[in-house]
Chains A and B, each alone.
Chain A
């Protein structure tokens, strides 16, 4: 079975620019997560989707971050405008309804904001 796919793998932008990341979860997984992992820290949940609905976005900086999962499959995370402190790895994960506690992670997108 194919794993969680993310693109791009690396992105370098200047501050105040915008950027978008894409995630395709494992086929059939209803729940999708976006995490932010700053260097030297553990992943922090940004947003959780159940199908195409948002379950939790309490830690998403909504003034600059947005995410969508329009058809309940793949998802896009956007940052606009980016700040230096947004430099991090953005991880996408998915889980199935049957094994909801087992999250499968993608390889991540490493964002550098200069």
Chain B
């Protein structure tokens, strides 16, 4: 069965600092992996996705993520965080039936 673990419930970073959000997945086959961001009162917005090929994927808003099969991880990174990045971030794994399994999310606070 598919599952996603986001070990960090809440992270606080200073504006301009680098960011890494962790995601570990469990899936028997090659996973389809996603990162979504959710601002308060908003729906989920896709940041980036990995299906195959290059293990380092670029997304919107300056985010990137790296797929590491040996570690079953798909960590999200950003070199310099902006105050507007404060939000909830969700990692998800998808299967061939287009069914998504989401992690519990990481809440990001950005301090000036």
The answer on a CB contact under 8 Å between B49 and A101 is yes
A108 in contact (CB, < 8 A): yes
A100 at the interface (CB under 8 A from B): yes
For the complex, is B11 an interface residue (Cβ under 8 Å from A)?
A: no
Most buried by B among A31, A101, A104: A101
Which of the 9-residue segments B13-21, B62-70, B77-85, B95-103 touches chain A? Answer: B95-103
The verdict on B110 contacting chain A, using a C-beta distance below 8 Å, is no
**Bitwise interface map of B from 32 to 46 toward A, beta carbon under 8 Å scored 1, else 0:** 101010000111111
* B-side interface size class: 20 to 34
Chain A residues in 8 Å Cβ range of B102: 42-44
B-binding residues in A (CB < 8 A): 4, 31, 33, 40-45, 48, 55-56, 91, 93, 95, 100-108
Residues of B within 8 A of A (CB): 4, 32, 34, 36, 41-46, 49, 51, 90, 92, 94, 97-105
27 contacts between A and B (CB under 8 A): A4-B43, A33-B100, A41-B104, A42-B4, A42-B92, A42-B102, A42-B104, A43-B100, A43-B102, A44-B102, A45-B99, A45-B101, A55-B97, A91-B43, A91-B44, A93-B44, A100-B98, A101-B34, A101-B98, A102-B49, A103-B46, A104-B46, A105-B43, A105-B44, A105-B45, A106-B43, A107-B42
